[in-house]
Amino acid sequence: MSLSFFVGEENYSFERKIIIVSSLIVSFTALIATFVNIYIGLNAIINFASISGLIVYTLFYFLARITDKEILLKWVVSLISLLFLNIVWYLNYFSNGPSNFLFLVYCAFIIFVWDKKKILFFSVLIIVNITALFLFEIYFPDSVMSYPSAFSRKVDIYVGLIISIAIIIIYTLAAKKNYTTQYLKARRADDLKSAFLANMTHEIRTPLNSIAGFSSLIVNDNLPLEKKKRFAEIISINTQYLSSLVDDILDTSRIESNQLSLHVKECNISELFSRLKEEFKHEIENLGKPISLKSNLSSENLTIYTDCKRLEQILRNLINNAIKFTREGEISFGCYEKNNDLLFFVKDTGIGIKKEDESKIFNRFSRINDKNDLENLYSGTGIGLSLSKELVNLMDGKIWVESEYGKGSDFYFTLPRLKMELHFNNN
């Protein structure tokens, strides 16, 4: 059983994880403390305190795993913990007991869960609190109870010290792990962005050169009409490519800033498929690749309520990739009903994807090229699949790939067949 089972979701904030782990440790410690206290014969009030600690922190643990009011949770846990510290200090023989260590652990906790201003606020609070405890101990020396024996004091102090050290180690390790993961993530994002920019230059320059070159040739009056037509076609293909590249980049940034909205309406899948088939057949012919293109529909006149433009964009992207990464054989795309969803697929007999790369290809700017195989160096920016994934997610679906390296890839995505009324209510 891994630690994540106790901590919960991966995407929890670092602060929330610290609260979850701390609550778990405190309730576990309170449980042990209850047994130790009974064993060394401390009084009933102390047992009462440790049992309340057990209950309160178990509650915090579950609260931290379910609540969406993280700030409130942080305030409640921080303030109640300080209150508990004072009770523990009072019951555990003031400065004779192990409470001093616990104040240090509390400081570490505050530093990990709060930001600058609040840390300052809690630091002042802790210092005022400790000064008050000091004055209390000076002016009311008779209130300090004494340990039943020197042995029980030693056990209490050392157990307290060990627990405090353990918690500090856990905090520091968690912080170090968090820092390292964030740092590596940032570095990878940076590397990917640099690679993306380098690719982009190439991806933009190639069609631009072609447009510039053929535009200057086409104005030649002596050029036969056939050639003029061919050149115009090349210019048009490259312009389309450039425009879809710019669209992809804009969509990526729209998604990043949560500004991409869907326009849901009834889409006729059969119509869309026959249009795509005709268009891509023509493209494959132009490329001169020995590839046959097939489309499959489970029933005629299939319709779905979704954003038709985005659905087409995803299919186009997958079919374009299939053509790009297939030298010969067959590409098929289709769709059938599965429970309440429509399952779309695009299959090819191309180069395939290694198992270890299957999860990477949906990451932004991620391109998998076998550097040793010069034949396999394909052009691309690495945003197509990440954009498709974001769009499918936005449309409440799922996208995945099943592939055999060297044999071909099957891309699948689902979209819910929502009822018309639902969408009208939402819009």
Tell me which residues touch ligand ADP (CB under 6 A). Answer: 321-322, 325, 348, 350-353, 361, 366-368, 380-386, 409
Give 413's strand partners.
Answer: 344, 399
Place of tokens 């999860």: 359
What minimum distance in Å lies between the beta carbon of 280 and ligand ADP? 13
Closer CB to ligand ADP, 53 or 350, in the complex = 350
What DSSP string describes 38-77? Answer: HHHT--HHHHHHHHHHHHHHHHHHHHHHH-S-HHHHHHHH
CA-wise closest residue to 363 among 344, 340, 390: 390
Here the tokens at position 57 are 């922190």
What CA–CA distance (Å, rounded) separates 368 from 383?
12
**Could you give the maximum distance between any two Cα atoms of the chain, in Å?**
113
Answer yes or no: are the C-beta atoms of 389 and 362 closer than 8 Å: yes
Closer CB to ligand ADP, 84 or 325, in the complex = 325
What minimum distance in Å lies between the beta carbon of 380 and ligand ADP? 2
Q: Which amino acid is at 14?
A: F
Q: What is the dihedral of CA 19, 20, 26, 29, to 10 degrees?
A: -150
Q: Within 13 Å, how many C-alpha atoms sit on residue 188's CB side?
A: 11
Closer CB to ligand ADP, 348 or 390, in the complex = 348
Closer CB to ligand ADP, 185 or 407, in the complex = 407
What minimum distance in Å lies between the beta carbon of 217 and ligand ADP? 29
Range 124-133 burial, b when 16+ CB lie within 10 A, else e: eebeebeeeb
CA-wise closest residue to 109 among 50, 179, 21, 29: 21
What minimum distance in Å lies between the beta carbon of 377 and ligand ADP? 10
Place of tokens 């993280």: 70
What CA–CA distance (Å, rounded) separates 114 from 111?
6
What minimum distance in Å lies between the beta carbon of 302 and ligand ADP? 24
Here the tokens at position 201 are 């230059």
Answer yes or no: are the C-beta atoms of 156 and 37 closer than 8 Å: no
Sign of CA pseudo-dihedral 221, 226, 230, 236: positive
What minimum distance in Å lies between the beta carbon of 274 and ligand ADP? 22
Instruction: Provide the 8-state DSSP code for 2.
Output: -
Closer CB to ligand ADP, 250 or 420, in the complex = 250
Closer CB to ligand ADP, 229 or 398, in the complex = 398
Closer CB to ligand ADP, 217 or 249, in the complex = 249
What CA–CA distance (Å, rounded) separates 57 from 29?
10
Closer CB to ligand ADP, 210 or 366, in the complex = 366
Closer CB to ligand ADP, 223 or 250, in the complex = 250
Here the tokens at position 170 are 């856990």
Q: Which residue is nearest to ligand ADP (CB)?
A: 380
What minimum distance in Å lies between the beta carbon of 352 and ligand ADP? 6
Closer CB to ligand ADP, 351 or 395, in the complex = 351
What minimum distance in Å lies between the beta carbon of 385 and ligand ADP? 3
Closer CB to ligand ADP, 17 or 347, in the complex = 347
Q: What is the dihedral of CA 359, 361, 363, 365, to 10 degrees?
A: 160
What minimum distance in Å lies between the beta carbon of 160 and ligand ADP? 55
What CA–CA distance (Å, rounded) separates 59 from 259?
38
What minimum distance in Å lies between the beta carbon of 347 and ligand ADP? 9
What minimum distance in Å lies between the beta carbon of 357 and ligand ADP? 7
